[in-house]
Amino acid sequence: MRQLRAIPLFLLMAVLLGALPAASPRLTRAAVQPRDTARDTARAPAGTLTSADAREARDVREARAARTGARTRAVVGGRPVDAAAHPWAVAISSRERFGAERSGQFCGGALVDVRTVVTAAHCLSREVLGVPREEVKDLHVISGRGDLETRSGREVPVRTAWVDPGYDSVTNEQDIAVLGLSEPLSQSHTVPMAAARDGAYAPGTAAEVFGWGDTSGTGAYASGLRAADVEMVEDSDCARAYPRSASGTFGGAFEKQSMVCAGTPAGGRDACQGDSGGPLVVKGRLVGLVSWGAGCGEEGRPGVYTRVSAMADAIRAHSG
């Protein structure tokens, strides 16, 4: 809320208006980015999501696509990777909500303890799931399944879900959730979280982002786990890429308290829709979770990630 006080009243009003169904166009990217992009993760065939909510979500998504044009483009420069070598990269799934194809995957996550997976808060939002999360009875974490069309690895039911109460769906701040698993996974499959002031956050540091998300910006979801090489971006550069006050970008503003950016100077390598919640890793340490961005891999528009070091205490306090 500290940030909100700094916001001029008229912007606040605009945001409140933007939260209404008929969002004003200038707020489109900002106010709906994580929600509608994540809706894009609902790649189940049309008709699978039969609820009015899901239909409404689709309508909103299509309306936004019409307004913004096809701004996303090919992933984002990834390559297939071996899931066994990156066992902490997990898929979050619900066949009930997203269909049986690709094991029902709709977001990514990272295994930080034997019973604890961290993911993005927006992955559990009603906008993504189409219904309140309490109504999704088959939330699972899938570990060690590189190819989602197979049955390899393990699929573990989610027993508890904690969504950071500070998560703000308009500003995307504190985009983190903690899932408690009903069965433990192997300790050797976990990834340690970066601590505050970890050198891993130094601008220019090589990082890798993992996911099963869109490889084309057109809904071409990968069935195999992929990774892209990016570098950590200086906070001030990211603040320039996503300014707080520029017209149309309010709410999509970079906030260094709970966010960190990664990308490449020329673009071309990035996370994309369906990668949300997935791990950004530097030297074996989890530094970020895929959260949002403008398009995918666009020059001057780095990916924005939840800053894990800032959330580590909360994550530990809510570990499964």
Q: Is 292 in the site for ligand ARG (CB under 6 A)?
A: yes
63: phi > 0 → left, psi -120 to 50 → alpha, else beta; which? alpha
**Of 36, 175, 214, 270, which is the active-site residue?**
175
List of residues 6+ apart from 5 with CB closer than 8 A: none
The least distance separating ligand ARG from the CB of residue 272, rounded to whole angstroms, comes to 5
The least distance separating ligand ARG from the CB of residue 255, rounded to whole angstroms, comes to 16
Q: Which stretch binds ligand ARG (CB under 6 A): 30-38, 55-63, 226-234, 312-320?
A: 30-38
Binder among 23, 179, 261, 272 for ligand ARG (CB under 6 A): 272
State the DSSP H helix or E strand holding residue 15, giving kind and residue range, or none if neither. Answer: helix 9-18
The least distance separating ligand ARG from the CB of residue 78, rounded to whole angstroms, comes to 12
Separation of alpha carbons 10 and 250, rounded Å: 12
**Of 258, 276, 309, 319, which is the active-site residue?**
276
Annotation marks residue 276 as catalytic: yes
**Of 86, 122, 140, 318, which is the active-site residue?**
122
Burial of 163 (0-12, 13-18, 19+ CB in 10 A): buried
Q: Is 41 in the site for ligand ARG (CB under 6 A)?
A: yes
Q: Which is nearer to ligand ARG, 23 or 115 (CB)?
A: 23
Residue numbers 199-228 binding ligand ARG by CB under 6 A: 213
> By the 8 A CB rule, do 98 and 104 touch?
yes
CA-to-CA dists, residue 177 to 59, 157, 185, 228, 294, angstroms: 27, 16, 18, 23, 22
Q: Which is nearer to ligand ARG, 37 or 143 (CB)?
A: 37
Separation of alpha carbons 161 and 174, rounded Å: 15
Q: Is 296 in the site for ligand ARG (CB under 6 A)?
A: yes
Number of chain residues interacting with ligand ARG (CB under 6 A) = 17
Query: Which letter, b or e, does each residue of 118-132 get, where b requires 16 or more Cβ atoms within 10 Å of its Cβ?
Result: bbbbbbbbebbbbee
Q: Which residues pair with 21 in a beta bridge?
A: none
Residue numbers 160-199 binding ligand ARG by CB under 6 A: none
Q: Is 293 in the site for ligand ARG (CB under 6 A)?
A: yes
Which residues are near ligand ARG by CB under 6 A?
34, 37-38, 41, 213, 270-276, 290, 292-293, 296, 303
- State the catalytic residues: 122, 175, 276
